[in-house]
Structure 1
């Protein structure tokens, strides 16, 4: 039986644990050659023998697959550039980028420090932008050289970025930014043979275990709806050639459920050929709202 990613070169960021590790293993099982990124422990940023990226790469190789570790900081220009360079030097190219790296620093807004705001946006949003940018530059060069890519980018959003989440203003803003970045990248990179989509997953990982402690415990038996491995089949499909024609979409996924998320679009509208007065605006807006769908509930509210 043919494997869906046979021969494809796949980069997964934040792949030392949790969702990223599950994605890396799933891609390798489908025949991909995988660059496993997780932040290195050495002073030079390269992975040591005990770092998570090296452990996952070794796990893939032990199962008969191909993988190399990358320990650079992908929220820096050099780290992101070296990530793409590692794929090209190790395997001769790059076909799929999965942006997954992230962490949490949860606070209510009135207690949220500027450093915690900046750190979360840096890792999630900048950590998506820079690998995407350098991968896109590689694919643009390939397209211009007459080697048309069949490339994929899968970004990692969150329900927090779609609906908001109490106590996670920084994380929600970063994840909402990732959705916007996904839409722009899908539009800009299509000419180079690149498809860009995002997922909004729910799964048990180090990052979510405190947030969802009561609801995410693994069952003693039966289907574990919160296992990270449940998310990976969608990511692998989006990262494969089989997903041709699917781009600029956001998919929410949890357990055995996959939902196509439908974002901002024009709803009830009032239009006139003259300026509204402040007295007229209120009744007009309330009338529009009476015909509009209620917004989804913010997580934790």
Structure 2
């Protein structure tokens, strides 16, 4: 069935797109937006609760039915993408169903928030596993396929869109595990963009802010939905506001854009510039501890102040 592109420009017509964690929130919005732009979509979701426990095939299948009802083409995948077999089966689902894979959107995740002194090893491992390992494994298996295509002379126009967070960029009080995983995703994005360029693969990341299950408690007041003022009311925290950039990054229209990180919220898009060398001094020989401290303080006086950690007082 050909996807209905009436709601969009069709910039992803003919492309096959995987979206992980697509049963709810941002992933659901991305999957629907890709379908509206002509893509065929593999909707991955385990259907877990907010803390990652339990499973259900309902959310993934519900999104598939929504896409099909709108005239699009989609298939559900319910594997655990933080396992090698689950990630491999995800890529196979795209290839066996549609015969190709063009775009991977890594989005799956959940939260187990605790202050560091109360954060246990299990909560650390669970969050790092789903966010960071859950990005690495689908990326690896997709990259293996794209490398094979390139070696056969069929260099793809392939795209990966990773999902970081403001917590990964600046830190977030009570989210040491989540912040560390999301910061790790940024490093993975930069390395993957450099390594996979030779195979025709571009890799970028977004750091979205939107109202989802994961954010509604943390940002309950700041992200409250707007009062209904009638048609045309702009809900700045709707997940659908993030999807247009994600769709563009996953299309051929973004050719030449790779290794970049974008923060996006409501109608705002910002290119994040990351770590860059600031003030520096080279003595040309070893410092004493006292000298190193004096130099550090002098350099700090000339450096740009860091962004505050979210939730810091």
Q: TM-score range by the shorter chain?
A: over 0.9
In the alignment, which residue of structure 2 is the partner of 1:80? 87
Say yes or no: does 1:30 pair with 2:37: yes
- Deviations for 1:42-89, whole angstroms, at most 9, x for unmatched residues? xxxxx97x6111110111011110000000000000000000000000
Structure 1 residues 278-287 or 227-236, which shifts more? 278-287
Say yes or no: does 1:244 pair with 2:255: yes
Whole-angstrom CA distance in 2 between matches of 1:210 and 1:284: 43
Conservation of the 8 A alpha-carbon contact between 2:34 and 2:41: yes
Whole-angstrom CA distance in 2 between matches of 1:146 and 1:123: 34
Instruction: State the 1:35 CA deviation.
Output: 0.2
Point out where structure 2 has 5 or more consecutive residues left out of the alignment: 1-5, 49-54
Whole-angstrom CA distance in 2 between matches of 1:114 and 1:242: 43
Say yes or no: does 1:274 pair with 2:285: yes
| Superposition map of 1:109-128 within 5 A | 109-128=116-135
Conservation of the 8 A alpha-carbon contact between 1:16 and 1:37: yes
Conservation of the 8 A alpha-carbon contact between 1:40 and 1:70: no
Instruction: State the 1:163 CA deviation.
Output: 0.4
Instruction: State the 1:278 CA deviation.
Output: 1.2
Say yes or no: does 1:151 pair with 2:158: yes
Whole-angstrom CA distance in 1 between matches of 2:220 and 2:290: 49
Conservation of the 8 A alpha-carbon contact between 2:43 and 2:74: yes
Match of 1:8 among 15, 18, 39: 15
In the alignment, which residue of structure 2 is the partner of 1:261? 272
In the alignment, which residue of structure 2 is the partner of 1:205? 212
SS of 2:206's partner is strand
Count of aligned pairs between the two proteins: 295
Match of 1:132 among 134, 139, 146: 139
| RMSD (CA atoms) | 1.2
In the alignment, which residue of structure 2 is the partner of 1:44? none
Conservation of the 8 A alpha-carbon contact between 2:16 and 2:102: yes
Instruction: State the 1:129 CA deviation.
Output: 0.3
SS of 1:253's partner is strand
Q: Scaled by the length of structure 2, what TM-score is found?
A: 0.93
Conservation of the 8 A alpha-carbon contact between 1:24 and 1:34: yes
SS of 1:166's partner is coil
Conservation of the 8 A alpha-carbon contact between 1:153 and 1:197: yes
Instruction: State the 1:27 CA deviation.
Output: 0.1
Conservation of the 8 A alpha-carbon contact between 1:11 and 1:96: yes
Conservation of the 8 A alpha-carbon contact between 2:23 and 2:47: no
In the alignment, which residue of structure 2 is the partner of 1:182? 189
In the alignment, which residue of structure 2 is the partner of 1:289? 300
SS of 1:82's partner is helix
Whole-angstrom CA distance in 2 between matches of 1:95 and 1:279: 55
- Deviations for 1:168-213, whole angstroms, at most 9, x for unmatched residues? 0000000000000000000000000000000000000011100000
SS of 1:106's partner is coil
Instruction: State the 1:40 CA deviation.
Output: 5.7
Conservation of the 8 A alpha-carbon contact between 2:23 and 2:59: yes
Q: Which runs of 4+ in 1 moved over 2 A?
A: none
Whole-angstrom CA distance in 1 between matches of 2:121 and 2:292: 36
SS of 2:65's partner is helix
